Amino acid sequence: MTVKAVECLGGVKCLDLALEGKADVITCAEIPVVLNAFNRTDYSLIATFVSNKDDMRIVANTASHIHKPRDLIGKRLGVINKGTSQYYADLFLLFYQIDPASVTHVNLSAEELLPALEAGKVDAISVWEPLGEIALRENSRDYKRLEAPSIYAQTFNLVVMDAIKDQHREDIQKLLKSVKQAIDIIHQNPAYSKALLVHRLDLPLDVVNKVWRGFRYELSLRPSLLTTMRGQLNWAIDSGYATGPNKTPNLLDVVDPQPLKRFDPALEGLQKP
């Protein structure tokens, strides 16, 4: 199989590409996997390759008189609807006992988050790293990160269309092997790995160094992933996103441990009936 990389910014767009038949395997966080399960289940999350308990940020413009979480009430918060950005924003607000309805959510694409904040179209944004650090770096005088404890452990996962998974089992095994080898290189030679990231994403090394320590690189499929996804499923139902034919999706229809179990049983902690 010849591999072709398709660029996309954000897991929502990446999974959309797969569902539209424009990609066979994508990477994304759990939220798009959960939300699309209300409509279709012909795709599978087969492995987690990295996680981070401190990846998400609420970055605010202090010119909008935002200095603490409660200052968000009545303000415009830029989010990516039905994505990790919106999910984290709601978690953040609820943690501080703020009704999400008291904050105006402005739906943006991933590419629009930083420009919208800079142009004053929103007062704050819910964003992941390194975009959060880039925003703070570029406008350290006016922008502020609203602090929060680790309220969300985000995972980044391999998701494959079922037709590809079933027809190309050996290729999927080779993919898992390649990801495992990449993770081993990251652990064995972090300086080299950071240099690749600097070159690939055109990021300053100090930004990479600052966000690097939060990422845990590990090929796995842990039971805690399903716990997180079940919480997200309940959030989606409460938020009115259960609009597809599958009103109460079975998450094991979109999480398949078998490919990882075939690759290395020690890495897979789930059991699929």
Query: Quick check: helix, strand or coil at residue 76?
Result: strand
Residue 1: per-residue pLDDT: 59
Residue 271: per-residue pLDDT: 55
Name the stretches of the chain with pLDDT < 70: 1, 271-273
Residue 199: per-residue pLDDT: 92
Q: What is the maximum span of the chain, computed from C-alpha positions, in angstroms?
A: 56
Residue 273: per-residue pLDDT: 43
Contact in structure between 53 and 153 (CB atoms under 8 Å): yes
The single residue listed with the structure tokens 């452990």 is 153
Amino acid at 115: P
Indicate the CATH number for domain 56-145: 3.40.190.10
And the tokens for 186?
């990251």
Residue 59: per-residue pLDDT: 97
DSSP, res 169? H
Minimal CA–CA distance to 60: which of 118, 108, 105? Answer: 118
**Numbered ranges of CATH 3.40.190.10 in the chain:** 56-145
